[in-house]
């Protein structure tokens, strides 16, 4: 991303926020109050920052996952299912004999990678070998994964004496994702996500693998001329995306909830699709915008307490942000503003 | 229908594609001539509303029209037939007519419309099943369908962007007759071409573009010498085939259907010298391109290329170049640099962008590609795209499989292409190419495979063949 893109994205960001402000005003809500409440709700204290990070990690992870599949030209609607399967994979370890050992979280991570990756692979195989469109198989697999999770929760993994959808037994503390300090700062998750960011950036911009992935997404039929097969790269992209989504599930189950619940994905998969639409495969932007979305979600709880506003306002803000962004992208107003600025400054 | 262009200018970054172009056409067939990259495509895109010019205006019947919207252009009666078919490949012929229909309302009478369309096709002697999907037709047929669709929608100004490169001789004659008939009905035709014989045959007036400028305006009768002088810098000389030095290595071609045809001189066991150029001649829509593709896909039940000891030539040694550049050959949203990186990437998993840039710049020079390394390939002219594809093939000796390597290229670009191909030939195992241009086949091939429709009619060394017979073979008259 060059400096000019950065400026354009920045102006677009400000404009999107302004549009949301106007929207809030039209609801009769003071946008500054909302901003204040959201800010305090997400960054007001160290605990709140930690909660924001715990939401940011899975959203971020799912968004990066989608960057891979978008690169190869695939709509990975199955991301929700991949998150759920990752969570199930992690839960299997947490509930096994390894559950009370200190290596549990690390093995959970690998199980989550494997389960999520496998769920992605199914989608890819159906696409490549069966000619099933990835949107349909993805959606179907989402339902299947969700069904498996519910079955496990009210069936084999039900709590003693009760069969409810409120989740499994809380994991043994050794199965929780390692943290530091008495406020449980999720250091391990942070290391993982930063590594994933760095790795992805390097892979997509500095290796032939990344370039081939991108080429596959642009022209499926031209790749054999360059001695590689589109099908293989589609499969790769789904495996990687599924595996990363699996980590998001792991983060949810062993970092946030410490148990498996039916809504373990938290809708973060679908949210990430919106997010990646905005960021159009730009990793830096993904980093920032996903953080913003996480802050919105966490801060949203304050809206109710402080301003007596419904939590669903957060959804409205998110959706309007995405919509404004996409429209602005199309209208290209930022370039004009930038031109005016440069004229003023040169004078 | 009168159309006037006034001071049209358009730039892409630093590239000035059109500079202050003014043309006035009062009717008839107007030729737009120029080498590849002269700015013809940009200009017709502006006229048809696909591009918005930086400057300038267009007047139709002395009325200024809005620019930059295909819809407005269509409403003003401007229709365009693109170089590459721009249609709905997944719709049936009938559906594609209905979809673009401007006259019929929502509740169109399917039956009546169908009759009308059938009548139209009848008028132009085209036999086509209207329920057949567009994607199942050849490029030539698709272009014809498109042209008829435009007529059906009542256009008044038709732009033909190098249309005949995809037409067979017969189809071409038919289209030309149609075009002449149309001018009598006050329809203006802008005919973009670089085939001068065609221009002389049907055009009434013309404009020559060069480097984005109008350099010459002309009216019938045309003076071919001055047009040449304006269009090309250098004189019209064809590359001479360099005397081939005998190479001792041999290969064999296996073609399943060959044994079914009566072959006297050639069989699947015939040994062919390394460095031989095999031309596959056929009219547009015949299987000549498919045959090239078959060699690449290595479906051994149908075709194969192998060494004289019987070993198949490795897949890595087959270098394939498809006819439709942007559909199957290149990645339109990638830059030249990224393309070079893809072809370079077989050497290393890690991309060293500095090395790739040096490598790419070298290739750009060597293959005379007029573009900067950071440009996206869809901004390149046809000739440059074609040379880029050639430059992306591995350097090590192999079998070049080229589908219509000079399709849509002007004389100079085609010549340049063959210069490069013939230069490679010294080291390569073989060059197998298809073409609908019999002159090209005759000029460059050592062995000629003649194809008519879906059958291989003949395979012969050039010295045992004469041009007339070749023409007969491909048109299916002699077998």
Q: Tens digit of pLDDT for each residue in B331-383?
A: 988 999 999 988 876 667 788 888 889 989 998 988 888 888 988 988 888 88
Q: What's the distance, CA B404 to chain centroid? A: 8
For the domain that residue B69 is a member of, what is the CATH number?
Answer: 3.40.50.300
In a domain, B243, yes or no: no
The token pair at B197 is: 């014989």
In a domain, B407, yes or no: yes
Q: pLDDT digit string (tens) for A156-195?
A: 898 887 777 788 888 988 889 888 888 788 899 999 999 9
Is residue B301 located within the same domain as residue B445? yes
Query: How much is the pLDDT for A133?
Result: 93
Is residue B208 located within the same domain as residue B269? no
Mean residue pLDDT of chain A comes to 90
Residues whose CB falls within 8 Å of the CB of residue A5, separated by 6 or more in sequence, listed in order = none
Angle separating helix axes A283-302 and A268-279, nearest 10 degrees:
130
Is residue B409 located within the same domain as residue B281? yes
Among the residues of chain A, which ranges form H helices?
A: 3-26, 31-43, 46-71, 79-95, 104-128, 134-154, 187-206, 208-218, 230-250, 268-279, 283-302, 313-331, 333-346
Q: How far apart are CA B339 and CA A191, in angstroms?
A: 35
Is residue B206 located within the same domain as residue B308? no
Using alpha carbons only, how large is chain B's radius of gyration in Å? 23
Q: Per-residue confidence at A74, pLDDT binned at 50, 70, 90?
A: very high
Is residue B136 located within the same domain as residue B261? no
Q: Which residue has the tokens 């809380």?
A: A170
Q: Are the Cβ atoms of A225 and B327 closer than 8 angstroms?
A: no
Q: How far apart are CA A260 and CA A164, in angstroms?
A: 12
In a domain, B245, yes or no: no
Query: How much is the pLDDT for B94?
Result: 80
In a domain, B62, yes or no: yes
Looking at chain B, which residue has its C-alpha nearest residue A205? B351
Residues whose CB falls within 8 Å of the CB of residue B181, separated by 6 or more in sequence, listed in order = none
Q: How far apart are CA A187 and CA A177, in angstroms?
A: 9
Q: What's the distance, CA B413 to chain centroid? A: 12
In a domain, B244, yes or no: no
Query: How much is the pLDDT for A244?
Result: 97
Q: What SS3 state is found at A44?
A: coil
Q: Which residue has the tokens 């054999």?
A: A224
List b or e across B137-156, with b for residues whose CB sees 16 or more CB atoms inside 10 angstroms. Answer: bbbbbbbbbbbbbbbbeebb
Is residue B411 located within the same domain as residue B468? yes
Give the end of a domain, one of B231, B264, B286: B231
- Show the domain range for B299: 250-475
Is residue B127 located within the same domain as residue B14? yes
Query: How much is the pLDDT for A127?
Result: 94
Is residue B213 located within the same domain as residue B276? no
Q: pLDDT digit string (tens) for B302-312?
A: 777 877 777 77
Q: Mean pLDDT lowest for which of A30-44, A142-156, A220-234, B167-181?
A: B167-181
Q: How far apart are CA B205 and CA B56, in angstroms?
A: 22
Q: How far apart are CA B403 and CA B325, in angstroms?
A: 10
Question: Which of the pair, A170 or A332, is modelled with greater confidence?
Answer: A170
- Those of residues 325-344 in B touching chain A at CB distance below 8 A are 326-334, 338, 341-343
- Those of residues 373-392 in B touching chain A at CB distance below 8 A are 389, 392
Looking at chain A, which residue has its C-alpha nearest residue B333? A218
The token pair at B17 is: 């594609």
Give the end of a domain, one of B199, B231, B263: B231
In a domain, B382, yes or no: yes
Q: How far apart are CA B144 and CA B172, in angstroms?
A: 10
Q: Are the Cβ atoms of A211 and B338 closer than 8 angstroms?
A: yes
Residue A55 has pLDDT above 90, yes or no: yes
> In degrees rounded to 5, what are phi and psi of residue A345?
-70, -35
Q: pLDDT digit string (tens) for A112-166?
A: 999 999 999 999 999 999 999 999 999 999 999 999 999 999 988 988 877 777 8
- Least Cα separation, residue B368 to chain A (angstroms): 21
Is residue B42 located within the same domain as residue B181? yes
Query: How much is the pLDDT for B236?
Result: 42
Any idea what DSSP says for residue B137?
Answer: S
B354: alpha, beta or left? (left if phi > 0; alpha if psi -120 to 50): alpha
Q: Are the Cβ atoms of A206 and B350 closer than 8 angstroms?
A: yes
Task: Please answer whether residues B280 and B303 qualify as being in contact, where contact means their C-beta atoms are separated by less than 8 angstroms.
Answer: no
Q: What's the distance, CA A97 to chain centroid? A: 31
Task: Please answer whether residues A189 and A106 qualify as being in contact, where contact means their C-beta atoms are separated by less than 8 angstroms.
Answer: no
pTM (2 d.p.): 0.72
Residues whose CB falls within 8 Å of the CB of residue B466, separated by 6 or more in sequence, listed in order = none
Residue A199 has pLDDT above 80, yes or no: yes
Is residue B186 located within the same domain as residue B215? yes
If interface means Cβ-Cβ distance under 8 Å, which residues of chain A face chain B?
205-209, 211-212, 214-215, 218-219, 221-222, 224-227
- How many domains are contained in chain B? 2
Q: Which residue has the tokens 């002699």?
A: B478
Task: Please answer whether residues B268 and B252 qualify as being in contact, where contact means their C-beta atoms are separated by less than 8 angstroms.
Answer: yes
Is residue B173 located within the same domain as residue B322? no
In a domain, B455, yes or no: yes
Q: Is the peptide bond before B221 cis (omega within 30 degrees of 0)?
A: yes
CA angle A231, A236, A238 (to 5 degrees): 95
The token pair at A33 is: 């109050």
Residues of chain B contacting A226 with CB distance shorter than 8 Å:
342-343, 345, 392
Question: Of all residues in chain A, what percent carry a pLDDT higher than 90?
Answer: 52
The token pair at A343 is: 């004229």
CA angle B374, B377, B380 (to 5 degrees): 100
In a domain, B287, yes or no: yes
HSE (side-chain half, CA atoms, 13 Å) at B249: 13
Q: Which residues of chain B have pLDDT under 70?
A: 14, 36-37, 83-87, 100-110, 139-140, 163-171, 194-195, 228, 231-246, 258-265, 284-285, 345-347, 475-479
Give the end of a domain, one of B202, B231, B260: B231
Is residue B220 located within the same domain as residue B287? no
Per-residue pLDDT, averaged over A317-321, amounts to 89
Q: What is the dihedral of CA B255, B256, B257, B261, to 10 degrees?
A: 80
């Amino acid at each position: 991303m060059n400096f000019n893109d950065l400026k354009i994205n920045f102006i677009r960001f400000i404009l999107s926020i302004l549009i949301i402000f106007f929207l809030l005003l039209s609801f009769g809500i003071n946008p500054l109050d909302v901003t204040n409440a959201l800010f305090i709700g997400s960054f007001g204290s160290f605990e709140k920052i930690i909660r924001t990070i715990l939401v940011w990690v899975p959203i971020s992870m799912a968004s990066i996952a989608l960057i891979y599949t978008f690169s190869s030209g695939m709509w990975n609607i199955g991301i929700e299912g991949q998150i759920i399967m990752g969570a199930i994979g992690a839960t299997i370890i947490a509930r096994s004999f390894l559950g009370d050992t200190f290596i549990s979280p690390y093995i959970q991570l690998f199980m989550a990678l494997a389960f999520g990756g496998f769920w992605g692979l199914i989608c890819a195989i159906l696409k490549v070998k069966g000619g099933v469109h990835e949107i349909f198989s993805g959606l179907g697999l989402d339902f299947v994964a969700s069904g498996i999770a519910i079955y496990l929760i009210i069936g084999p993994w039900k709590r003693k004496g009760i069969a409810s959808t409120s989740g499994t037994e809380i994991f043994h503390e050794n199965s929780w994702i390692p943290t530091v300090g008495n406020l449980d700062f999720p250091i391990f998750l942070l290391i993982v996500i930063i590594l994933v960011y760095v790795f992805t950036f390097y892979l997509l911009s500095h290796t032939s693998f990344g370039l081939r992935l991108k080429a596959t997404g642009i022209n499926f039929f031209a790749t054999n001329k360059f001695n590689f097969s589109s099908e293989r790269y589609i499969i790769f992209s789904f495996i990687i995306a599924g595996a990363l989504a699996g980590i998001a599930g792991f983060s949810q189950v062993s970092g946030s909830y410490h148990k498996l619940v039916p809504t373990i994905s938290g809708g973060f998969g679908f949210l990430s699709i919106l997010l990646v639409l905005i960021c159009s495969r730009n990793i830096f932007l993904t980093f920032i915008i996903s953080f913003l979305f996480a802050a919105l979600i966490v801060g949203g709880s304050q809206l109710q307490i402080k301003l007596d506003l419904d939590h669903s306002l957060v959804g409205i803000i998110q959706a309007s942000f995405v919509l404004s962004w996409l429209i602005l992208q199309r209208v290209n107003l930022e370039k004009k503003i930038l031109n005016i600025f440069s004229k003023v400054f040169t004078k | 229908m009168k159309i006037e262009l006034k001071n049209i200018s358009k730039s892409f970054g630093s590239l000035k594609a059109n500079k202050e172009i003014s043309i006035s056409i009062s009717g008839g067939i107007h030729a737009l001539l120029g080498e590849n990259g002269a700015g013809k495509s940009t200009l017709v895109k502006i006229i048809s509303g696909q591009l918005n010019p930086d400057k300038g205006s267009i007047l139709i019947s002395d009325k200024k029209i809005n620019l930059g919207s295909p819809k407005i252009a269509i409403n003003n009666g401007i229709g365009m037939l693109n170089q590459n078919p721009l249609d709905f490949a997944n719709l049936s012929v009938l559906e594609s007519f209905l979809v673009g229909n401007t006259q019929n309302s929502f509740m169109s009478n399917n039956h009546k419309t169908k009759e009308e369309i059938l009548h139209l096709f009848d008028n132009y002697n085209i036999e086509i099943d209207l329920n057949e999907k567009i994607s199942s037709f050849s490029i030539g047929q698709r272009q014809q369908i498109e042209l008829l669709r435009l007529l059906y929608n009542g256009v008044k100004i038709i732009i033909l962007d190098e249309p005949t490169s995809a037409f067979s001789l017969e189809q071409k004659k038919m289209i030309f007759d149609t075009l002449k008939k149309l001018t009598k009905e006050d329809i203006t035709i802008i005919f973009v071409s670089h085939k001068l014989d065609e221009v002389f045959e049907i055009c009434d007036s013309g404009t020559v573009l060069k480097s984005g400028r109008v350099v010459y305006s002309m009216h019938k009768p045309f003076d071919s010498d001055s047009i040449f002088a304006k269009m090309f810098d250098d004189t019209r000389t064809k590359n001479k085939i360099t005397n081939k030095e005998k190479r001792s290595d041999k290969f064999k071609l296996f073609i399943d259907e060959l044994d079914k045809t009566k072959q006297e001189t050639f069989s699947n066991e015939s040994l062919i010298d390394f460095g031989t150029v095999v031309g596959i001649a056929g009219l547009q829509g015949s299987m000549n391109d498919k045959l090239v593709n078959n060699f690449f896909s290595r479906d051994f039940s149908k075709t194969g290329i192998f060494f004289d000891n019987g070993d198949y030539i490795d897949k890595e040694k087959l270098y394939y170049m498809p006819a439709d550049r942007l559909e199957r050959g290149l990645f339109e949203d990638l830059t030249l640099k990224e393309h070079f990186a893809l072809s370079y990437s077989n050497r290393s998993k890690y991309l060293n962008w500095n090395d790739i840039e040096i490598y790419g710049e070298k290739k750009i020079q060597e293959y005379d590609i007029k573009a900067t390394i950071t440009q996206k390939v869809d901004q390149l002219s046809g000739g440059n795209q074609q040379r880029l594809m050639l430059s992306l093939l591995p350097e090590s000796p192999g079998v070049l499989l080229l589908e219509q390597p000079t399709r849509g290229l002007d004389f100079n670009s085609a010549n340049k292409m063959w210069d490069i191909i013939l230069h490679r030939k010294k080291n390569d195992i073989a060059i197998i190419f298809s073409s609908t241009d019999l002159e090209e086949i005759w000029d460059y091939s050592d062995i000629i495979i003649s194809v008519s429709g879906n059958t291989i009619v003949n395979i012969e060394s050039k010295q045992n063949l004469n041009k007339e017979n070749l023409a007969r073979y491909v048109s299916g008259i002699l077998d």
